[in-house]
A and B are shown apart, each in its own frame.
Chain A
Amino acid sequence: MDALVNKRIKQVLKGDQNAFSDIVSLYQHKLYQICYRMLGNKHEAEDIAQEAFVRAYINLHSFDQKRKFSTWLYRIATNLCIDRIRKKKPDYYLDAEIAGTEGLDMYSQLSSNDQLPDDVVEQMELQDRIQYEISRLPDKYRSVIVLKYIEELSLQEISEILDMPLGTVKTRIHRGREALRKQLNNL
């Protein structure tokens, strides 16, 4: 996959804009998922994920092709998400609730054909709850928890994406787990 990505990157750098659509198509779901879990709102997630691809396109010349493209791309996206979260901090909890109902709509659209209504409801409630709990985490814990448990990335990769030492990543994951544990016990 890396060879294909690097080939497409070279084409884009030569001026072939259409080659970029393959890159978008490869990473769109992962990138959108990170943004959605970080922001808890599908409209914002879409906007930020698109913005991340646009920034990647504009700054593609500065990408070092010896490194992993996904790491670089995720870094752009997480930075944009963190900026967005910091700008709208006051309505943090309100947003988490909105996110819950939106997740519900989307989830029911996705799986309406092959699951029983009761199971769907049960599953939806769990999914809402997960997103709600993630949204309640302070953003410095949220980013590491999302990258570790939703994207299932290695600690080393997370440290590169967030541009922080491995030790800091570990500490944040530990604290994030403890924070989540306390949130779940309270309810």
Chain B
Amino acid sequence: MTEAPLISVENLTRLYKVGEEEVRALDGVSFDVRRGEWVAVVGQSGSGKSTLMNLIGALDTPSGGSYRINGNDVEKMSDDQLADLRNTEIGFVFQTFQLLSRSTALANVELPLVYRGLPRKERKEKAVKALEAVGLGNRMHHKPNELSGGQRQRVAIARALVGNPSLLLADEPTGNLDSATGEEIIRLFGELNLRGHTILLVTHEPRLAARCPRAIRLSDGKVVADGPGAEVASLGAPPAHVPQAGAAA
């Protein structure tokens, strides 16, 4: 009846040792994400959302619990397998863009395909397509310092999408942008979601979470709310006039 979820997180725990003390950054987090969903993970700093993002991005491994993405049991994987998983299943979008400054936009977008071992010609074709898809067809040979902040984030999104991953994982993607540019980027995410991309957006801004069809609120490493974005965003946050999610599926 129902299709298996794309992401399945069960009782996920991550402990850190700080000196003598153990800190539970994540404490038994469970949720599923289906294909085509656009989910915000919201919470204040220290709530565990960065830890969760690192785990879902396969950059880190959990101390306990299980995490499956697209049929892969991530917690059992070797370092090389994690690298391959990041390459094929996950597209990262970072707050600080994280573009390689010495490489052109095109070379930046090609990079995930280099690590996939695609031939040069195929790499270039796909990268050009991805850049055109984010509206940067005319900026391909510029280096990051020749691009505006919004353009840089578009390059990063193109890079995240080029390998056709099953999940787009965005960490405060508008954090370093002015509000108008941030709005453009959020609209772009909306379009991508409409085209079928699954998106997990990590943010501390309830205003952004409210724009997503679904949001998960973390606090002290635990899920405290999971539901429609607007509802979750308003919980515990100062009452505000939040725009309703318009472009959501």
A and B held together in a complex: no
A: which residues have CB within 8 A of B? none
